[in-house]
Structure formats: C-alpha cells, structure tokens
Amino acid sequence: MPRKSLIGCFTNESGSTDSNGGRDVAFNWSLPPRYNHGYRFGMASRPLRDSDVRQAAYRRLLTHAQACPDTLVIDELGLDHGSCRIDIAVINGHIRGVEIKAEADTLERLPRQVAAYGEVVDKALLIVDPKHLVAAMTLLPDWWGVMVAERGTTQGVKFRRVRAERANKGIDPLVLARLLWRPEAQDILRSLGVPERDLRAPREELYQRLVSLMPLRKLSGAVRAALKSRTTWRDQQPLS
C-alpha cells in the first residue's frame, strides 16, 4: 500500500488563492543554498538511496504544506495503467510529480519517465544526486524543476535548488483520463448524462468519451477529485 497523507496546498486553476495567500507551497523553496536535513544514516560510506532521499523530502520539502487538508500525497502513483510510476505525486489544484534519482540510481529509465510524466502532470520536480545532475539536465524539458540532494557533513541530506518548476503545456487528455478506474470513469460520464447502456462500453471507449465531452481543465479537475476520494489503491481494483 503506497503512503497516503493529506499534506500540501496550492493555488487553484481558477486563480483564486489558497490559505497561504496564493503562494504555491507544494514544495518548500525557501531553502538556503545548502540545507542539511539532519536525517542521519548508520552507514556513512554507502551511497544515498531512494528511500533516504524520499524520507528527507517528506520531512523537509513538504512540511510547510501540512496545514492544508485538501491535498493528497501518494507514493508510486501509476501512470497509463502502471506502465510508469510517479515516485511522489502531490495532488490538489494541480497534479505534481516528483522523480528521485539518488546516488545509488542510474538515469537509464529517466527519458521514458520524463515522457510519461509529460503526458499527465501539471508540474514536475527531479530530485537528483550531484553525480547525475549534468547528464539529467540534458534529458529534462525546461518546465521541470530540479533540486540536488546529497549527503551532508553530518550524514544528513542536503537539498539545493537548481531550477524552479514551470507549467507543463503538453498534457495528453486521453492519458490523463487513464488515471481513472472504470467505475470512476462511469460515474463521471453518468453525471454528464451519458445513458447507462453506453457505460457498459470497453474501458478505453469510456476514456475517449470523457475526452470528447470535457475540456482539459474540467477533465483534470474530475480526475484529481476521483484520485483524492479513493479509499483503496492499486492491486485492489479491477481494471476491466
């Protein structure tokens, strides 16, 4: 079961402000040039792993967003029926994806992950080890944010901002719709007045119907609402 918690708060798509006066606090960008998170490790010589950076990110980068209840943060959100997964997804007025490439990781899968994120997320952040930074920057579109994570002198994790996120203009509505489970797609179509007989169509036809009936902005809002209302997650819901 992936981690699920209500943290984070964003400005909504209509431009109205959140409880932080409209400030986007999905991530705490107010870090000094180098910030030692203080999360200590028992083996100082081993490379930083995904789990090390992930724990530090949850405890430092997301803490300032915890006051807002209308946000879902979840580990390993599947894209396109599980063909790719977002390391940490932050869902409220936007869908944000966080990809972690720690010292012990490679960049072999990053091009495919960048392409998959680009079809669905509104914004994305790469948290990367310094040894991967130069190579990773050549693989990222300019709308991706970038943050370096490395071991500190006291064996904590230091974060350093390299580039802020920007809005993704290349979302694919059909791939976005595929985040929905079949019953969720049926419920949305039912609310739009689609006859019950048409709701028995194959799942892919339901997604195509959603795309034909809803502009991207409304579809995105419906998908986010469905994700935030789930009480069970992957491997517990039939896909057919």
* pLDDT value of residue 128: 96
What pLDDT does 63 receive? 73
Checking if the pLDDT of 104 tops 70, the result is yes
pLDDT value, residue 144: 98
**Domain range annotation of the chain:** 4-163, 173-229
* pLDDT at residue 65 in the model: 58
Paired with 99 in beta bridges are 126
Report the share of the chain in percent with pLDDT over 90. 54
Question: What gap in Å lies between CA 26 and CA 20, rounded to an integer?
Answer: 11
- Statement: residue 16 has pLDDT above 50: no
In whole angstroms, how far apart are CA 105 and each of 49, 127, 130, 235?
Answer: 7, 12, 12, 26
Distance CA 36, CA 34 (A): 7
Q: What is residue 82's predicted lDDT score, i.e. its pLDDT? A: 74
For residue 56, give the nearest of 157, 160, 146 by alpha carbon: 157
pLDDT at 59: 83
pLDDT digits (tens, 9 = 90+) for 43-93: 456 778 888 898 888 888 877 655 567 888 888 998 877 778 999 999 989
pLDDT of 236 above 80: no
- Closest by CA position to 149, among listed 7, 75, 77, 41: 41
pLDDT score, position 38 = 44
